[in-house]
Amino acid sequence: MVPLTHYLIFSAVLFTIGVFGVLVRRNVIVVFMSIEIMLNAVNISLIGFDRYFDQNDGQIFSFMVMCVAAAEVSIGLAIIISLFRNKPTVNLDEFNILKG
Amino acid sequence: MIFYPIAALCIALALAVVLNKNPINSAMSLIGMMLGLAAIFAFLQAHFIAILQIIIYAGAIMVLFMFVIMLLNLKEDAGSWMARDKNKLLNGLTAVMLVGGLYKIIDVLTQTDFKAAPAVQDSFGTVARIGEALFTDFVLPFEVASILLLAAMVGVVVLAKSKLD
């Protein structure tokens, strides 16, 4: 069978890939998708721990994480659409009006 | 043992999300990764969360992403898709994070603390057991989540409207 450490390592690798995507990519939509990768990695870790200790708490926490992710994605995409109306680009390097 | 090929597939798809120039390809890879994760949840006998993953993530959130990508008519990223190289601090922090993560992974791999999964009750991961916990122990987060979703809906409608005359 699969030990718990392997699930945690898988979760850590997915989370690292997500953080890499958030820091390096310049397309706003891809940054959002990397945030979704990070949230999914945390879900794997929560469910893995629940399975190995026969509890409910992690699954309900994972349910709340999905709920928050849905709210965050909808608001984030609405913000992107509003930004796109002003300046028709999705490149993060070009949003520098607030820069000193 | 079928966890390992599916985990490798999920990692490959996550890398495809991050390294792809076309945002549509990234979105399709992300859908594939979420379906793979739903399969892993099903192997862990968390059936409720596996179905929720498909319905909420792959069925609603990724469809929203596709709507926006097609609405904005995004093509491939022109020019370089990575951050410009002038920010040495960002590159250094990214490298330190990746190397630190790799070191920790190898460190954990060389220790064997947890053994195989103990047997769980038959009701693990079923809708009945999670529903019972959700409405007795966790009823407050449940209600707060509904308020959060209401606030998100109102916010999205306000943000995405055209100018109010």
Q: Is the pLDDT of residue A41 over 90?
A: yes
Q: What is the CATH number of the domain that holds B116?
A: 1.20.120.1200
- Say whether both B141 and B118 belong to one domain: no
- Predicted local distance difference test score (pLDDT) of residue B165: 54
A98 belongs to a structural domain: no
- Say whether both B50 and B130 belong to one domain: no
Share the mean pLDDT of chain B.
86
- Predicted local distance difference test score (pLDDT) of residue A64: 95
- Predicted local distance difference test score (pLDDT) of residue A1: 74
**Can you tell me the distance from the alpha carbon of B27 to that of B128, in angstroms, rounded to the nearest whole number?**
33
Q: Are A69 and B61 in contact (CB under 8 A)?
A: yes
The predicted-structure confidence for B47-67, as pLDDT tens digits, reads as follows 999 999 999 999 999 999 999
* pLDDT: which is higher, A85 or B29: B29
- Say whether both B154 and B79 belong to one domain: no
- Say whether both B106 and B131 belong to one domain: no
- pLDDT category of residue B39 using cuts at 50, 70 and 90: very high
CB contacts of A59 in chain B (<8 Å) are 46, 48-49, 125, 130
Q: Chain B contact for A55, CB < 8 A?
A: no
Q: Chain A contact for B125, CB < 8 A?
A: yes
Q: Taking the mean position of all CA atoms in its chain, how far away is CA B96? A: 24
ipTM score of the complex?
0.93
Residue of chain B with shortest Cα separation from A9: B105
Distances (CA, A) of B31 to A99, B8, B59, B112, B148: 35, 15, 9, 33, 25
- Say whether both B102 and B21 belong to one domain: yes
- Predicted local distance difference test score (pLDDT) of residue B114: 63
* Residue range A26-32: mean pLDDT, rounded: 92
Question: Would the CB atoms of A82 and B159 count as touching at under 8 Å?
Answer: yes
- Predicted local distance difference test score (pLDDT) of residue B75: 83
Q: Chain B contact for A89, CB < 8 A?
A: no
Bridge partners (DSSP) listed for residue A25: B82
- Say whether both B113 and B138 belong to one domain: no
Q: Is the pLDDT of residue B164 over 70?
A: no
* pLDDT: which is higher, A65 or A25: A65
Q: Chain A contact for B30, CB < 8 A?
A: yes
- Say whether both B89 and B43 belong to one domain: yes
* Total structural domains within chain A: 1
**Can you tell me the distance from the alpha carbon of B108 to that of B59, in angstroms, rounded to the nearest whole number?**
35
- Predicted local distance difference test score (pLDDT) of residue A67: 95
Q: What is the CATH number of the domain that holds A56?
A: 1.10.287.3510
A99 belongs to a structural domain: no
Determine which of A80-84, B71-75, B160-164 has the lowest per-residue pLDDT on average.
B160-164
* Inter-helix orientation angle A28-53/B23-43, to 10°: 0
Residue of chain B with shortest Cα separation from A14: B11
Structural domain containing residue B112: 3-125
Q: Are A8 and A46 in contact (CB under 8 A)?
A: no
Place of tokens 């040495």: B88
* Residue range A48-76: mean pLDDT, rounded: 92
Taking only residues 30 to 49 of chain A, the set having a beta carbon closer than 8 angstroms to any beta carbon of chain B reads 30, 32-34, 36-37, 40, 43-44, 47-48
CB contacts of B17 in chain A (<8 Å) are 21, 30, 33-34, 37
A74 belongs to a structural domain: yes
- Predicted local distance difference test score (pLDDT) of residue A71: 96
Structural domain containing residue A66: 4-88
* Residue range A19-24: mean pLDDT, rounded: 86
* Total structural domains within chain B: 2
Predicted model pTM: 0.88
- pLDDT category of residue B160 using cuts at 50, 70 and 90: confident
Determine which of A27-31, B58-62, B93-97, B134-138 has the lowest per-residue pLDDT on average.
B93-97
A93 belongs to a structural domain: no
**Interface test with chain A among B114, B135, B153, B154, by most A beta carbons within 10 Å:** B114
Question: Would the CB atoms of A66 and B56 count as touching at under 8 Å?
Answer: yes
The predicted-structure confidence for B68-95, as pLDDT tens digits, reads as follows 999 988 888 766 666 666 676 777 787 7
- Say whether both B59 and B87 belong to one domain: yes
- Predicted local distance difference test score (pLDDT) of residue B26: 94
